[in-house]
Each structure stands twice: as structure tokens, then as C-alpha cells.
Chains A and B, each alone.
Chain A
Amino acid sequence: DAKTTQPPSMDCAEGRAANLPCNHSTISGNEYVYWYRQIHSQGPQYIIHGLKNNETNEMASLIITEDRKSSTLILPHATLRDTAVYYCIVSTDAGNMLTFGGGTRLMVKP
């Protein structure tokens, strides 16, 4: 699976949009981009995934560049409960393990 690079930490003001970048320059054509987060020591929580097109769900939006070498996770109105470590993972389809890197520690501040 392709390696990803994320900033180790970011701050965001409560109520503002949080934009979390991820570089995956070696991604191959059949690899998806997944985002998960881990709040404190809880089990990771799935957020969103995409292949080529931008995606949006009730939690977040995922913007993937046209060359697919990078992506951005957008939390449109961050709340204190969004404080967590966010992981960007690239992986092929069903049946593959997730390889977690260091992630980005997002701190939402009042």
C-alpha cells in the first residue's frame, strides 16, 4: 500500500472549517483514500473514503486532486468533540488491512 504523509498536528478554532491535508504521491490506480479518526483511546472511527471524485457525507468532505497525489479532509464546522488523531490511509479494495501512520493530531480550541 502507498505511503502517506500528514502534518503531525494542527489547531482549529471551534466553528471554523478544519482542512487536513494528506500527500500520497505513490498511490496506484486501484487504491482508495480512506480517512479515519481516533478520539482519545477509543476505537478508530471511519469518516469517509474516495477513489477519484470528491466525496461528501454527514461527517466530512474529501477533496482528491486530479492527479490523485494528495487529498484534503474537510470538517466544515469543527467542534470540540472533533479533537482527535486523523489518519489518512490508502488501500486497495475489500479484504485489505489498514496501515496506520502517525496521523494528524487535530486540536479544536474554543
Chain B
Amino acid sequence: NAGVMQNPRHLVRRRGQEARLRCSPMKGHSHVYWYRQLPEEGLKFMVYLQKENIIDESGMPKERFSAEFPKEGPSILRIQQVVRGDSAAYFCASSPWGQVGAYEQYFGPGTRLTVT
């Protein structure tokens, strides 16, 4: 069973360009989470999605950032008009669906975004 996959692993963008980060959850997982890790800092939650629904986007910056998890295909984190402060590692995690109980999150290898 393949783990969480993210691509690209490294992405370089010039200021003002768009960055598009992809995440394919583990097979059978219908919950996706995005986290950001700025250099020398801890991971910060950004957004939680289920298929075709954004459940919690309390950690998303109000502007330029958006996320989706369509019925078919990977989850996408889009950053429009990137700035140098967006340079970070972006991690995606997935967990299985369940009504009750604790469900661990499985993380992908991350996408390292560098804005020049």
C-alpha cells in the first residue's frame, strides 16, 4: 500500500508566479490535511478537506491561498502570486474516514517551495 504521495518534491517559483502543490492520500483515506513548516519552525495546520468539501480552513492565510480535494484526483494546494515569505516545506497528511475514535495522520514527504 503506497504511502501519501506529494509532488513536486521541490518547486522553485519567482515572486508573483503561481505554485501548485499536489497530494495523493493513502488508498482508502478520505481525509486530507495540509501543514506548512517555515524554516527553523514547527509545523502549522493550514486546512482540512474531505472529498469535495473544505471542513476547516482556519489556518489558511486569507489571501492568495486555496485548497481543493476533488471527487477524482489529488488534493491541490494553490498559492497565487507567491512572495518570498511563502518559502517553506508544505506537508500533506491523510487519515481514514471514521465516525468515532482516534485516527492517526500519515504524512507525505513534503514539497519544498523556494520563492526567488
Contact = CB atoms under 8 A, between A and B. Distances in A.
A98 B44 CA distance: 8
B70 to A, nearest CB: 19
Interface stretch (A40-48, A61-69, A76-84): A40-48
Contacts of A46: 104-107
B107 A45 contact: yes
Which one of A34, A98, A103 has the highest number of Cβ atoms from chain B below 10 Å of its Cβ?
A98
Contacts, number: 64
B104 A49 contact: yes
B85 interface: no
Contact of B108 (A43, A96, A102): A43
Interface size class of A (residues with CB under 8 A): 20 to 34
Given A43-B91, A44-B43, A93-B100, A98 B105 contact: yes
Interface residues of B, number: 30
Which one of A32, A97, A100, A103 has the highest number of Cβ atoms from chain B below 10 Å of its Cβ?
A97
A74 interface: no
Contact of B45 (A44, A94, A97): A97
Given A41-B110, A43-B108, A101 B103 contact: no
A46 B93 CA distance: 11
Contacts of B95: 94
27 contacts: A38-B43, A41-B89, A42-B109, A42-B110, A43-B4, A44-B93, A46-B105, A46-B107, A49-B104, A93-B100, A93-B101, A93-B102, A93-B103, A94-B95, A94-B98, A95-B31, A95-B55, A97-B56, A97-B59, A98-B33, A98-B43, A98-B105, A100-B35, A100-B42, A101-B42, A102-B42, A103-B42
Interface of B: 4, 31, 33, 35, 42-45, 48, 55-56, 59, 89, 91, 93, 95, 97-110
Interface of A: 32, 34, 38, 41-46, 49, 51, 93-103
